[in-house]
Structure 1
């Protein structure tokens, strides 16, 4: 059953969740509607990652991320809270415990997470989010990931959280549909994306937002569409916003859940003539005010961009790796003769150089290189991504900027040396207090 296993299993009909999982999904959505009211389900906009719903300027920096989180809070009915974001670059010390970053339940992507409520210096109640800087490279996916984090904040704000962590994570996914975030989170439930690093390179990534999986998310999205009374044109519009697999799950669930009146009855949604008047688009998509002292036209510092090796270790310790240059010099002398001689011997007619002579010459040069290299010292930075050549005058690496704090004789000893340095710099433990004297008999 979905409430007991990490991920729902596919039915014999592969496009649907199992029957008991379907019942669990509809039952939990109905329970949420009963507690919070049906109005949000039928009146909140079904968000899409388009400028219509997200008109704010995106420049890849912290102000842009704050505006995105603030707009999603507004869509969730939490516009009175002030969004505060803390973006962590890849070079930052790990800090999951400090920012309440949850552990993944089923391998899901957690690049944005709700980290609690607080009050700022002006006494305003804030909603805090932690953000992995690398997620800023893909703003389209970031919208869905942030929407799920806002759904978690919604549950915490309204006292909806349950003690069991796995069940709570599933209920967060259900809540995204209730709030109108379902198109976003269903699209990102399982999706292959390409992440740019800010240069000319990019790499593929499997995006998995949430724990329910695409079958269950497509099923919930179909239930939401039926509950709102969308026509076939509306169904086709939603399907075009989804990847092929999720679109197939969504269409099949629409067929199974029809007619829409039965879905409303199962969810506890009244007939359409009892619904409140729809809200205006102006009220749904307001202007997001800038923070005090924030210049809306200022150039933002982009977050998550791979800045390369230069300066990556500024202010951090590195080590000088000092080794004999024997192998380096031997390769430098022997390999050109071996490769060049082989090409000449086999590629030019009329040139008759025996291969054994070429190999003997290469071996002799290699031996000479070993002897010469033994008298030379090769000194380089211990950072694996750097390896810059160092001189005796260098107190910091000229490439990565790390402070040279010691000498090791092999790059593999870097981690052990860093641990020894950390223990050496840690404050020494206080000596135990002496035992109290025993009273005289």
Structure 2
């Protein structure tokens, strides 16, 4: 037996950081066992382990409401709820801007709620109809949408089968585990914690952490590993699952596989002898061609709901101003900067070409002066909204980009707030004088 050294103790401590605490491991296995008791063992061991690929999601994706509906119908089919109709509402404005009740749950731990279960009703024929909501901004990320839709379907599954609990925090964790039970685990474990970037309107992008659900990725990966061990997957199958995960989640998954014993997990999950399991269905039968919704015109082009509503139409019905000023500085930059940049490349990058840098500077300065002179003859007209800046024609009464109503002319964007205040005061005075 090898001696324990501080180095090996440190390595072991680092490894244990990849695992959830023992009491959390016991909780995961206990709750999966409870699902087996309530719904049977078949979903946990025989449901297809979904991958984010056209094999499992062959339906057309165009980024609109019909695409989300097709995706949710496919996931409901995998969850054994293929007889349910689907109703989807895509919300183009953020929650802080819309007034209607969207049924969107309040995030508990900073998680992203991009697609959510809104409820279930029955149509006039008595057929169950599941209602979902979706954020339009999320539809620009199809991979994230698939995982979010999988979690929303897991919630619908729990509601449909009477599994939901009144404790909101506990229920959210159980929804995450139910995605594992249904075979959605590779999707939701990968999306539990990921770094994404978003353009900020310039040449830069801002990074942020996107979270799906409330369960830490270590716990999700442990649950996924417990399912993989219970299925008795060979090394190739385990490698395939790990390959679907981000590096951190893959490390959590591999470490969990090391500590989960196959025979023990079968007993702790309350699973019958694998010899008695029903034969898994063929992939072809599990991934049928779903009939098109009767209300959907499959030939009609689908409008993708991907506009950035942070700018497009953000000021509809609100006042903005036309900023009118000389285009002198803009034209001067347009003429001078290319000369400086091109001249610098020639001076530094071409051997045998002798071009003094001072000549480049003089030429740029001369063109800049010409630009200032020409620019004084031109007017630059733009929307005063800082996030917009759309070029406006002299005849425009509304901004074609942000939708604001042009209420006047100012000479600099910094005058916008003062102009808005003056407009409000004049409106209040007219209102006081009105009968």
Normalising by structure 1, what TM-score?
0.73
Relative to structure 1, is the Cα distance of residues 324 and 314 closer, same or farther in structure 2, using a 3 angstrom cutoff? closer
2:212 alignment partner, one of 185, 209, 213? 209
Residue in 1 that maps onto 2:291: 289
Residue in 1 that maps onto 2:189: 186
2:128 alignment partner, one of 125, 128, 132? 125
Residue in 1 that maps onto 2:403: 402
Rounded to whole Å, the distance in 2 between the matches of 1:415 and 1:169 is: 48
Residue in 2 that maps onto 1:144: 147
Relative to structure 1, is the Cα distance of residues 70 and 247 closer, same or farther in structure 2, using a 3 angstrom cutoff? same
Rounded to whole Å, the distance in 2 between the matches of 1:76 and 1:117 is: 16
SS at match of 1:130: strand
SS at match of 1:24: helix
Relative to structure 1, is the Cα distance of residues 203 and 118 closer, same or farther in structure 2, using a 3 angstrom cutoff? farther
Residue in 2 that maps onto 1:268: 270
Residue in 2 that maps onto 1:279: 281
Structure 2: tracts of 5 or more residues without a match: 1-12, 340-356, 429-435
SS at match of 1:118: strand
Rounded to whole Å, the distance in 1 between the matches of 2:390 and 2:222 is: 55
Note if contact 2:19-2:252 (Cα within 8 Å) is conserved in structure 1.
Answer: yes
Rounded to whole Å, the distance in 1 between the matches of 2:142 and 2:358 is: 55
Rounded to whole Å, the distance in 2 between the matches of 1:379 and 1:205 is: 35
SS at match of 2:175: helix
Relative to structure 1, is the Cα distance of residues 416 and 71 closer, same or farther in structure 2, using a 3 angstrom cutoff? farther
**1:51-74 Cα deviation digits (max 9, x unpaired):** 221121222222221111001011
**1:136-184 Cα deviation digits (max 9, x unpaired):** 2221222111101111111111222222222111111111011111111
Residue in 1 that maps onto 2:54: 51
Relative to structure 1, is the Cα distance of residues 137 and 202 closer, same or farther in structure 2, using a 3 angstrom cutoff? farther
Note if contact 2:388-2:402 (Cα within 8 Å) is conserved in structure 1.
Answer: no
Note if contact 2:315-2:402 (Cα within 8 Å) is conserved in structure 1.
Answer: yes
Note if contact 2:72-2:149 (Cα within 8 Å) is conserved in structure 1.
Answer: yes
Residue in 2 that maps onto 1:321: 321
Residue in 2 that maps onto 1:382: 384
CA shift, 1:89, in A, is 2.4
Structure 1: tracts of 5 or more residues without a match: 1-9, 341-345, 352-357, 367-371, 426-441
SS at match of 1:74: helix
CA shift, 1:76, in A, is 0.8
1:173 matched to 2:158:
no
Relative to structure 1, is the Cα distance of residues 320 and 22 closer, same or farther in structure 2, using a 3 angstrom cutoff? closer
CA shift, 1:279, in A, is 2.4
How many equivalent pairs are there? Answer: 389
Residue in 1 that maps onto 2:358: 347
**1:103-145 Cα deviation digits (max 9, x unpaired):** 2222222111111112446653211111112222221222111
CA shift, 1:190, in A, is 1.6
- Structure whose residues are more often helix by fraction: 2
1:38 matched to 2:41:
yes
Relative to structure 1, is the Cα distance of residues 274 and 137 closer, same or farther in structure 2, using a 3 angstrom cutoff? same
Note if contact 2:321-2:406 (Cα within 8 Å) is conserved in structure 1.
Answer: no
- Pairwise CA RMSD of aligned residues? 4.4
CA shift, 1:391, in A, is 6.8
Rounded to whole Å, the distance in 1 between the matches of 2:195 and 2:144 is: 10
Note if contact 1:319-1:408 (Cα within 8 Å) is conserved in structure 2.
Answer: no
1:251 alignment partner, one of 251, 254, 257? 254
